[in-house]
Structure 1
Amino acid sequence: MMTLKKVSMKKVVAVFSIIAACYACSSGPAEVKKPISINVNPQIDEGHATAVVASAATGATNAAPAAVAPAKDGKALIAGSDCLACHTETNKLVGPSYAEVAKKYKEADIAHLVKKIIDGGSGVWGEIPMPPHAALAHDDVEAMVKYILTIK
């Protein structure tokens, strides 16, 4: 007759916890996320930025003065991604808070941070690795990083 080894409940819980953490930090194959893109169509007129506003009723366009907006909204891109599963603006969760990242890095580090997000990595903020985000567009990740560096 075959004897079964007793498996401790702690080991079973630990294995399932690790699997759940890995699943939460990465998107599964059935889940396909499209990057959020915000289309801003600026029109430059005599050195001033103006936004083109189209009227649906008349088909006319009116140029209204507006502040120069970034081509993509980093905060909206973050909200539409899986970043918030591990990061928050002000408190450490699984990874560092965005405020901690903004303290440590400056605008000169944008290219480095974009590469780290797309390729993934570990060791900078502890033992837990950040999974790669290769499906994100480079321009979107750059907009996200620029937004993160504004958080204080």
Structure 2
Amino acid sequence: MKKVVAVFSLITICYACGSSTAEEKKPISINVNPQINAGHKIAETGATAATAEAGGTQTPAAAPAKDGKALIAGSDCLACHQETNKLVGPSYAEVAKKYKEADIPKLVKKIIDGGSGVWGEIPMPPHASLAHDDAEAMVKYILTIK
């Protein structure tokens, strides 16, 4: 029975990750606030960021780091992980308890390349189309969960 559940879980994970070879994979990059790029047009108003800083109607703050929580919500991560409860993979709170800031590069690589054996028998599929900066923002968010 355990083998049937493991095989079914693996098939479900592969399906959720969109492991189809028919489509061309492109890096995923989500700009959570496109208005804050200095010198670029602000999408809604057509004004430049420099104009906004010089007294326009919008005053942009310093460019924020990418929002890891929003990136996770827009990805397939929640098919296997939850913030505080173990699902297929470990909860984000378990990951945050085990790893520190020094482990960020290692965790980014693990997300992009996939892997197995650290949290059990079920492997984490690779997310090769995920941009490095996005994966880093996700890891930084995950490490804040307690």
TM-score where L is the length of structure 2: 0.72
How many equivalent pairs are there?
132
Distance 1:88 1:82 in 2: 11
8 Å Cα contact 1:74-1:144 kept in structure 2 = yes
- In the aligned structure 2, how far is the partner of 1:104 from the partner of 1:121? 17
Match of 1:56 in 2: 45
Q: In the alignment, is the contact (CA less than 8 A) between 2:6 and 2:122 conserved in 1?
A: no
Q: Which amino acid aligns with 2:18?
A: S
C-alpha change, 1:27 and 1:66, in structure 2 (3 Å) is same
Alpha carbons of structure 1 residues 56 and 104: separation in structure 2 relative to 1, 3 Å: same
Displacement of 1:56 after TM fit? Answer: 2.7
2:36 and 2:61 in contact (8 A); partners too: no
Q: In the aligned structure 1, how far is the partner of 2:129 from the partner of 2:35?
A: 23
> RMSD of aligned C-alpha atoms?
3.2
**1:73 paired to 2:67:** yes
In structure 2, relative to structure 1, the CA distance for the partners of 1:128 and 1:67 (3 Å cut) is: same
Deviations 1:99-121 (A, max 9, x none): 10001111110000000111111
The alpha-carbon deviation at position 144 of structure 1 amounts to 0.5
TM-score relative to the length of structure 1: 0.70
Given that residues 35 and 43 in structure 2 are in contact (C-alpha distance below 8 angstroms), is that contact kept between their aligned partners in structure 1?
A: no
Q: Which protein has the larger Cα radius of gyration, Structure 1 or Structure 2?
A: 1
Any gaps of 5 or more consecutive residues in structure 1? 1-9, 44-52
For residues 1-52 of structure 1, the C-alpha deviation after alignment (integer angstroms, 9 at most, x for no partner) is xxxxxxxxx7xx6697256434344214267684322236366xxxxxxxxx
TM alignment of 1:25-36, pairs within 5 A: 25-29=16-20, 34-36=28-30
Identity of aligned residues (%): 65
The structure with more strand, counted as a fraction of residues: 1
What is the alpha-carbon distance in structure 2 between the residues aligned to residue 36 and residue 65 of structure 1? Answer: 19
Question: Hey, which of these two has a bigger chunk of helix by percent?
Answer: 2
Contact 1:24 1:85 in 2 (8 A): no
Residue in structure 1 matched with residue 131 of structure 2 by the alignment? 137
Please state how far the C-alpha of 1:54 moved relative to its aligned partner.
8.6
Match of 2:141 in 1: 147
